[in-house]
Structure 1
Amino acid sequence: MEYLDFELPIKELEDQLAKCQVIGQESDVDVTNTCKQINKKLIETKKHIYKNLTAWQRVQLSRHPSRPYTLDHIRALCGDTFLELHGDRGFKDDKAMIGGLGKIDGQSFMIVGQQKGYNTKTRQYRNFGMANPEGYRKALRLMKMAEKFGIPVLTLIDTPGAYPGLEAEERGQGEAIARNIFEMVRLKVPIITIIVGEGASGGALGIGVGDKVYMLENTWYSVISPESCSSILWKSWEYKEQAAEALKLTSSDMKKQKLIDDIIPEPLGGAHYDRETTFKTVEQYITKGYNELKDLSTKDLIAQRMDKYSQMGEYKE
């Protein structure tokens, strides 16, 4: 288990608990009470730390290397029913954007999402979860296929942003993302969107237009990352913590601003501490969201979606 800097008090107590248990196993000394006291303190420390997280600490948790990625969610939700589909039928298959058909609780979904890597090799293979234009065009191709056959769409967002390289811009990165947003607003099937990790910039918005938009508790959703915001405003990355607070990018901030529909709770310590519970909770929200949308007519579904996004950003003073 890797620990973030603010989790070091937890690491110290867990190490103490492990040593105490080893002493009890290897000697005749009764350490039961000592272990109980350490465990009690450990639980209290965890509650104190995770109930008082700053915006920057939540950003760190969303990037935790042990956090479940898109494919982890898909395998847990769909089991062996997931069939991955490839290519944009124009340039090539983007490995940072995955998509395919799968069944969740007996209902078929077209699932699209960004995938990061687990180590150096797979991160390079997946381009660190940063899709090129062909990735967004593949996503749109699959969503239009789902529309043709009346299959609801599920998108899982986890990206530091769309790939900003020269080749990506030459192939129309901005147009590809804009086209996806335009087409998703008018898509004739229900769309459920979940931010499972990072939700940065247009890279997230390219598959982020949904009838139901949920965020896992320790994720973030913003027009720019805290580091990039800090480098623009302060000409340095040193102010990333202040930038994270100012951007109002956490799930609770998004909910207050009515930019998402609900927050999916995570186990104490984050999604990586108890993956099975996380997957079950995510499935419950997907099923709940779909049940609220499935009986709407196509006309009402699109009208409701358009109204939802038209109202964003309107304020009365």
Structure 2
Amino acid sequence: MDERLRRLRAADRLSAPTVIKALLPTMVAQHGDRVLGDDAALTAGFGRTAQQQGLAVLGIDRGHDLKTRREKNGGALAVAGYRTAQRVVQHAEKFGFPVVSLINMPGADASPKSERFGQSQAIADLIATMGQLTVPNLVVFLGEGHSGGALAFANANAMIMLDDSLFNVASPEAVAAILHGQQTVSEAIDLLPMTAADLQRRGLVDQVIDHQRPDLVATLCQQIITTITTLQTQSASTLIAQREAKFQAFLDQWPQA
């Protein structure tokens, strides 16, 4: 395995629940989609920061050992997870709470059960809802984020990535497989703009943070609060237009990138 992927998938990798606990001293967790049940990989709910800023949070975690990784399906969200996130986001908009998503996932669950219960529709619904939010939303990549499964959370006003994290339409292994072995997994990472540095250079990522900082959790929490505070000065229509413009600008410069 590529050393970068080994580091990203390490058992002691900073997790979304750890950041959420530091970010929100008080939080009311939300569970289940009221149809299929709960998704263990998703930590979702509402809370207030130490500065009394209300937030809605969506955190995806792979687990830290064999037991928790099985329970959380390695971070691959199923339909219940996306529909739970959709419910939280809709309530956040209703009550005027900004939305913060913290991502470390291989992509969406691709099992026959998820497909049978409408996985693609659940992902599409969340992408659309995130794009039309009248409150600010922010995504933080703590590790990997691949495929439409991650894009559902990344349709955001602002994007923060740890310097060694990845964001792409497919995992490095999938890219290598699509190219029929013409590229190794390591080469696949460098072939497409999926690293934090590449995506920041192309204007998609707003902030890159060193994953080796001794005060990493505190730095992340402060950056989240600062970013949300800045975004809250914008009108609802501006927030919606800014999300679209961010991704459109990325697409427009793609042939020259």
Correspondence for 1:88 among 23, 29, 33: 33
- Name the counterpart of 1:305: 243
> 1:150 aligned to 2:150?
no
2 CA distance for matches of 1:58 and 1:259?
21
Find the residue that maps to 1:267 and give its secondary structure.
Answer: coil
- Name the counterpart of 2:61: 115
Q: Contact conserved, 1:59 with 1:220, CA < 8 A, in 2?
A: no
Find the residue that maps to 1:311 and give its secondary structure.
Answer: helix
Q: Deviations over 1:78-115 (max 9, x none)?
A: 23x12211111222111122201122232111000212
Q: Contact conserved, 1:58 with 1:220, CA < 8 A, in 2?
A: no
2 CA distance for matches of 1:59 and 1:104?
32
- Name the counterpart of 1:78: 24
1 CA distance for matches of 2:166 and 2:121?
24
Find the residue that maps to 1:95 and give its secondary structure.
Answer: coil
- Name the counterpart of 1:189: 135
Correspondence for 1:161 among 71, 94, 107: 107
2 CA distance for matches of 1:189 and 1:182?
14
> 1:65 aligned to 2:11?
yes
Give how far 1:183 is off: 1.1
What runs of 5+ residues in structure 2 fail to find an aligned partner? none
Correspondence for 1:261 among 189, 196, 206: 206
> 1:292 aligned to 2:247?
no
Structure having the higher helix fraction is 1
Q: Contact conserved, 1:157 with 1:195, CA < 8 A, in 2?
A: yes
Q: Contact conserved, 2:22 with 2:221, CA < 8 A, in 1?
A: no
- Name the counterpart of 2:83: 137
2 CA distance for matches of 1:183 and 1:144?
8
* TM-score normalized by the length of structure 1: 0.76
> 1:224 aligned to 2:170?
yes
User: Which structure would you say has the larger Rg?
Assistant: 1
RMSD: 1.8
Percentage identity across paired residues of the two chains: 34
Q: Contact conserved, 1:218 with 1:266, CA < 8 A, in 2?
A: yes
Correspondence for 1:198 among 115, 135, 144: 144
What runs of 5+ residues in structure 1 fail to find an aligned partner? 6-55, 269-273
> 1:99 aligned to 2:41?
no
Give how far 1:302 is off: 1.6
Q: Deviations over 1:166-208 (max 9, x none)?
A: 1111111111111111111111111011001111111111111
1 CA distance for matches of 2:220 and 2:50?
12
2 CA distance for matches of 1:153 and 1:256?
25
1 CA distance for matches of 2:251 and 2:230?
25
Find the residue that maps to 1:101 and give its secondary structure.
Answer: strand
1 CA distance for matches of 2:21 and 2:83?
24
Rate the CA distance shift 1:288–1:85 in 2: closer, same or farther, 3 A.
Answer: same
1 CA distance for matches of 2:147 and 2:18?
23
Give how far 1:235 is off: 4.4
> 1:314 aligned to 2:249?
no
Q: Deviations over 1:233-261 (max 9, x none)?
A: 1349x821111111231100111121211
